[in-house]
Amino acid sequence: MKMKRVLACALSAAMIVTFVSFGNMGVGMVHAAVDIENESVTVEEKVLKEIESEVLKANAKANSEQKPAAWDNDGEAGWAFDDENHWWHSRYQGNPVEGEVNSGLVSASNPIWIQTGFGEAKKIKKITYLSRDNGMGSINAYKVQYANVQQGEPRDDDFHDIAGAAGNLQNARTAQEIVFNEAVTATHIRLVATSIYANGGQQYVAAKRIRVFEETEGTEGVTYNFYKQSDFWDYEVAYGNLADQTENADRWHYQIKKPSEGGWIDIPANALKTKDNGEKSWMNDDKGLDGTYYYAKLNKDEITSTFQGEAYTAVAYAWKAPKNGYFKMTLESPITQASSPAPSFFVCHSSDNQDGKDLFRNIVGANSTITSKIARVHTGEWLRLGATTKNAWASGLKPVVMEVTAKDYAVQYLEEVSGIEEGNSYTEASKQAVKEARSALQEAILPEVPDMVVVEQKITALEQAIAGLQEYVPVTEVTLNVTEANLKVGETVQLTAIVAPDNASQEVLWVSDAEGIASVDSATGLVTANSAGTAIITATSTMNPEKKAQCTVVVTRDDTALDVAIKAAEEKIREENFENKYTEASKTALRENLENAKLAKENANLSVEDVKLVVDALNASIEELQLKAVVTINNNDQIETKYCEIGEQVRVVAQTVKDKKFSHWTFNGTPICYSSPYTFTVYGDTTIEAVYVDAGEEVTPQAAMLCSVSYNKSTQTIKYTAKRSVPEGCKIVKHGMILTSKPAWEALYKDNQEAFKLEADRIITKVATTTGLAGNYSVSVKCTKPNIWYAKGYVVYTDKNGEEQTVYSDVVSYEVK
């Protein structure tokens, strides 16, 4: 039982239907009113509205366009959207401008696209594509993308693929529809090509009369009979008679062929006449129009072709397809009567007002019928059944258009193209493509009820393979646009092969004899310099491997970064007071890395990666030059400056000052030692000052605690040093350091630093093992991630009265970024 019969029975059983969905009848889910008795359904289909071409042209853009125009008709992106006799063409003359790709030659690695916008978001459901008149640059592999942006021009990453809008177009000269699975809300639509049908030209892309259709809020009612559909199971039968010209003028037309006016033209509906005997017919007024006589009688289904002169050559019933499908023309019943000689009938398939492709042509008389071949028809194309014999007529002529399945057409098509590729006139690769596509189609139609979507895809694939049959033309020469190239490592050059003659296969294979030095894209000829040396790039004709051309590529290393680093290092060494200002270790590292850099400069065979390591090391040694600590000693207003290594010890001695006595030393402004001489360890920039008082003044020593911080970038280590000094007669209980990191500081101590002390929350407590009244204590923190560490030195001691005292340093911190 057919699928429609099952559906009809289901509807009869249910009696109530609110929604019904049919294959390709509408757009998405459709409202349906069901006539159970006649097993038909009326659906409300979304109405598609064509967007004005002026809007599309004004917003046109492409990543390659021939601008200014060349050869009059090859031009900019906007030319793809108007009705003029020109087209958009990817660039082949002049230099690309900003926004364009380097080459207008299309490939999978160099897709060429054209887009347009609407000025506002619209629900886009369909676009149509038409190739240029001679077929050159017709798009093969494609996809459609959309963007929906609030304002401005969309970027490439704003575009998204549309479901169901990708694949291969036909190598046809007629408009082709690309209908999306679902309408998309978009401000811009982009058609992307990755291959073309060259049709004798090079791999440039062209397009004209691209149309874009939006889905509107309105709907229209369309009635389908269950026995008419389906695109895949049964036939749709369209019965035609002359009355249809007024009742359904978009489907059936009565036409006459007038070559002087370009071909088939409609006989207007207002030419319908009622004769004295009551018959209704189409005929010219009193046979006076160009002395031509033609008519067709409604009640007798009669067609007459009587031509006087050469103005008209045929008359026909013409049927305009309302959808894509597979159709043939026949008669509802045999012709009842015919003139002698009988008319010469034809059935043809055309996309315009020309005859197009013959599906049937023969003399047909009484008691005979007409059955044409099956045609693959697209929306808006024509099937015509007509007669060409002068002074001939036939009656009982009831034309019928019958829809058949993709499988029916496939069987006929396979017979028509059987062995089409045989012989020596085509290339082996293109012949093999046809064989493979034919086998795939034969396999697809093996089941009694095959998957018709797959069958249709395989039909298209075979059509494309046949259209792609490439004539074998011997290649006589291959030349290159560049035969010598000098590149720096990392640079590229585009090689282009010119194959002679022009109508020979332009396909070449690109090969490098030294990929490590210069590699080449085997399909496009783009050369990339990889390392110093010489490489030979060869382009070999795939049709005639004996024909080839070569380019010598010399690659040198780009030492710009190395030269900059060497210059910076030498300038640093010439810096004033360089020898005294920086630590010995960091100066030694800089000199060694500078020497390595100069050796790398002389070694042309050193790889780019090795040179980069040398440059990085030299730049790091410049950045990591470590200044010595500056120690400033003020002793009785006598100022002495020393540059000291971290960890170096310095000894200071108080002077004898008239009427004064030595009181103490201050360390960065804080009293630290009450005896002389005083020896201290350098951990950073330090100011030491001797304090003198009147000879009779009593000096009372005070306990002191200082804390300093330094950072070793090479080891990623923060070093905190606490310096303590406790008066004689006291006793150390403990000393050390407390630390915390940024999260705890921000949460607990940022606004109350006094709370940052021993036994506080979220701190690290370090305790020294020494008990000397004066000395240093250091704590190192390894920090590999961005953070801030805070530290405070402490000393707990009992004074001369036996009371316990605690002294803290100021808080110091270091941020690792």
Q: What is the pLDDT of residues 526-557, one digit of tens each?
A: 999 998 899 999 999 988 899 999 999 999 88
Q: Taking CA 550 as the corner, what is the angle to CA 546 and CA 551, rounded to the nearest 5 degrees? A: 170
The residue among 357 and 279 whose pLDDT is bigger is 357
pLDDT tens per residue across span 431-488: 999 999 999 999 999 998 889 999 999 999 999 999 999 888 889 999 999 999 999 9
What is the C-alpha separation between 253 and 140, in angstroms, rounded?
A: 34
Residue 646, Cβ density class (10 Å: 0-12 exposed, 13-18 middle, ≥19 buried): middle
The token pair at 35 is 């006539």
Q: 484 in helix, strand or coil?
A: strand
* pLDDT range class, residue 391, cuts 50, 70, 90: confident
Give Cβ neighbours of residue 175 (< 8 Å, ≥ 6 apart): 128, 129, 130, 209, 211, 351, 378, 380
pLDDT attached to residue 388:
83
Mean pLDDT of 332-347: 88
Range from 230-244, 690-704, 770-784 carrying the lowest mean pLDDT: 230-244
pLDDT attached to residue 471:
81
The token pair at 550 is 């070569």
Average pLDDT, whole number, for the chain?
84
The residue among 738 and 424 whose pLDDT is bigger is 738
Are 425 and 350 in contact, with CB atoms under 8 Å apart?
A: no
* Residue 600: its H or E element: helix 584-602
592-612 burial, b if ≥16 CB within 10 A, otherwise e?
ebbeebbebbeeeebebeebe
pLDDT surpassing 50 at residue 18? no
pLDDT attached to residue 394:
86
Q: For residue 720, give the amino acid letter.
A: Y
Q: Rounded to the nearest 10 degrees, how much is the dihedral formed by the CA atoms of 364, 367, 373, 378?
A: 90
pLDDT tens per residue across span 758-781: 999 999 999 999 999 999 999 999
What are the distances in angstroms from CA 231 to CA 133, 151, 808? 31, 42, 92
What is the C-alpha separation between 565 and 112, in angstroms, rounded?
A: 42
The token pair at 167 is 């694949």
Residue 641, Cβ density class (10 Å: 0-12 exposed, 13-18 middle, ≥19 buried): exposed
DSSP letter assigned to residue 598: H
Tell me the range of 71-80, 220-229, 240-249, 450-459 where mean pLDDT is highest.
Answer: 450-459
Mean pLDDT of 127-135: 86
pLDDT attached to residue 309:
54
pLDDT attached to residue 376:
94
Nearest to 316 by CA among 372, 275, 367: 372
pLDDT attached to residue 236:
46
Mean pLDDT of 547-568: 93
**Radius of gyration of the chain from its Cα atoms, rounded to whole angstroms:** 46
Are 527 and 518 in contact, with CB atoms under 8 Å apart?
A: yes
Q: Taking CA 512 as the corner, what is the angle to CA 506 and CA 514, rounded to the nearest 5 degrees? A: 175
Are 618 and 600 in contact, with CB atoms under 8 Å apart?
A: no
* pLDDT range class, residue 272, cuts 50, 70, 90: low
Reported pTM: 0.37
pLDDT tens per residue across span 96-119: 999 999 999 999 999 999 999 999
What is the C-alpha separation between 120 and 117, in angstroms, rounded?
A: 8
* pLDDT range class, residue 250, cuts 50, 70, 90: low
With residues binned 3-state (H G I as helix, E B as strand, rest as coil), the percentages for the chain, rounded to 5, are: 20, 40, 40
Looking at the chain, the whole-number percentage of residues with pLDDT higher than 70 is 84
The residue among 290 and 810 whose pLDDT is bigger is 810
What is the C-alpha separation between 735 and 728, in angstroms, rounded?
A: 16
Q: Which long-range contacts (CB under 8 A, 24 or more apart) does 100-104 make?
A: 100/62, 100/63, 100/64, 100/65, 101/63, 101/64, 102/494, 103/64, 103/494, 103/524, 104/64, 104/66, 104/204, 104/205
pLDDT surpassing 80 at residue 270? no
* pLDDT range class, residue 503, cuts 50, 70, 90: confident
pLDDT attached to residue 230:
31
Range from 73-77, 168-172, 275-279, 779-783 carrying the lowest mean pLDDT: 275-279
pLDDT surpassing 90 at residue 124? yes
pLDDT attached to residue 675:
87
The residue among 27 and 53 whose pLDDT is bigger is 53
* pLDDT range class, residue 268, cuts 50, 70, 90: low
